[in-house]
Amino acid sequence: MITRKRLATGACALLAALSAALLPTGAAADEPVAKESPKVELVLDVSGSMRARDIDGQSRMAAAKQAFNEVLDAVPQEVRLGIRTLGADYPGPDRKRGCKDTRQLYPVGPLDRTEAKTAVATLAPTGWTPIGPALLGAADDLGTDGATKRIVLITDGEDTCAPLDPCQVAREIAAKGIHLVIDTLGLVPDARTRQQLTCIAEATGGTYTSVHRTEELSRRVRQLVDRAADPVVTPVATRGTDRCAGAPLLRPGLYTDRETFGQHRWYRVEVLPGQELRASVSIASDRTVHRDYGVLLRAVTLGGREIVRGSEAGDGRTDVISTGLRYPKAEREDDGPGDAKPAAETVCLQVSNSFSAPPSVRTTPGMPVELSVDVVDGPAGASDLASFGLGRGWWLLGVLVLTGFLAGLIWGWLSRWRVAVWRTN
């Protein structure tokens, strides 16, 4: 059904297109210059500890190679990608030489997948872990132009080249203002490695992820490369409340907050008839927590009735847990006469978690929460029953239940009739 809103939107789009076509050619001088292609450099630890066989029954190096092959197959065409190694060449005991052991394996630029895979295939776990020098080298590889830049560091241990602190190196890179973000991934990390990699990531606005399986490594690196191609909107800091009344009213966008163990936080979103609310939440366990935990995201009416929910449980294998929900609000025929604007429904979003930790772990500040909110045009003909989270599937469920009930009655009657006939014979 073509609503007035959609008709008006289409008319505006048509007028905009005609206006653009009729503008004089000289107007092109006022248009913004095309953005430069994003750059990504993958920095891989090839130190001796990567021989450990504790990821899916294979060595950490084998898992990294497998993940790299999958990532290289999926790199977006517009991304200029490079690869740098650390600890790949010098196996000896000379610390001074070992701490210079970092080199660019594949230059940042248009990707030749076959050439890049061949270069990765030749790697073997060898030497030291000079993370600080590798980050400095990667920053130089990416340059200082206006392109968005991302370093993805994959390592299984701490830097072994102190006093050059890699966290301080990351802070210095961030201070240059060259639009460079460092994301870190720890392969089966211990507490000290986790702390160092978290510090590196936070210094540049990046993320830290703990990895225990090959699939997790491949998926996370692909996500980060895709994020470079389509940069995420800078999150807006907000502060949820302990009840829906008085909670912040959120518009479509990305938001950050903090939530302590077992806390509930409330936010509000307005949804018009014919629109669909899409929301997701991620909570990062940035400290030591017990292995079993969960996150819950609920959409609730102002009157307290639950509309739909999303939940997810974790077992300590990853440092981030996420869930989401969708709520299509049906269009109404009686929203108002003429051009009257239909009334919006206020939906309350509740974010809850079931994290717990040993008594020695501080609960403040709360854990980082990332909340994504989007409101889009809903599917045509969405039913009111979608508010129960079942959409049109509600009717199918009812038909199946009724069919099963009638089939049971008929089968029972036939069984009795057969028994009665058998007895009379």
Same domain (yes/no): 188, 71:
yes
Are 46 and 131 in contact by the 8 Å Cβ rule? The answer is: no
Which of 187, 213, 229 marks a domain boundary?
229
Parent domain of 329: 236-386
Same domain (yes/no): 169, 138:
yes
User: Which CATH number does the domain housing residue 175 bear?
Assistant: 3.40.50.410
Number of domains within the chain = 2
Same domain (yes/no): 130, 63:
yes
Q: Which residues neighbour 298 within 8 Å (Cβ) at sequence distance 6 or greater?
A: 306, 308, 309, 325, 349, 350, 352
Nearest CA to 314 out of 358, 284, 287 is that of 284
Task: Output the pLDDT for position 392.
Answer: 46
Residue 31 lies in a domain: no
Q: Is the pLDDT of residue 335 over 60?
A: no
Residue 30 lies in a domain: no
List pLDDT tens digits, range 211-251: 889 998 998 899 889 888 876 566 788 999 999 999 999 99
Scan for tokens 């009111």, then name that residue.
384
What mean pLDDT is predicted for residues 351-357? Answer: 93
Same domain (yes/no): 240, 376:
yes
SS3 letters across 333-348: CCCCCCCCCCCCEEEE
Task: Output the pLDDT for position 21.
Answer: 41
Q: Is the pLDDT of residue 345 over 90?
A: yes
> Cα(125)–Cα(50) distance, rounded to whole angstroms?
6
Are 329 and 384 in contact by the 8 Å Cβ rule? The answer is: no
Are 72 and 116 in contact by the 8 Å Cβ rule? The answer is: yes
Residue 398 lies in a domain: no
Residue 197 lies in a domain: yes
Same domain (yes/no): 335, 256:
yes
> Cα(25)–Cα(27) distance, rounded to whole angstroms?
5
Same domain (yes/no): 45, 194:
yes
Which of 229, 253, 272 marks a domain boundary?
229
Residue 368 lies in a domain: yes
Residue 393 lies in a domain: no
Residue 397 lies in a domain: no
List pLDDT tens digits, range 269-321: 999 998 999 999 999 877 788 888 999 999 999 999 999 999 998 886 666 78
Hey, which residues does 309 pair with through a beta bridge? 298
Are 237 and 255 in contact by the 8 Å Cβ rule? The answer is: yes
User: Which CATH number does the domain housing residue 357 bear?
Assistant: 2.60.120.380
Residue 376 lies in a domain: yes
> Cα(321)–Cα(18) distance, rounded to whole angstroms?
47
Stated pTM of the model: 0.55
Same domain (yes/no): 44, 179:
yes
> Sorting pLDDT into bands at 50, 70 and 90, what band is 341?
low
- Count the residues in the chain: 425
Same domain (yes/no): 142, 190:
yes
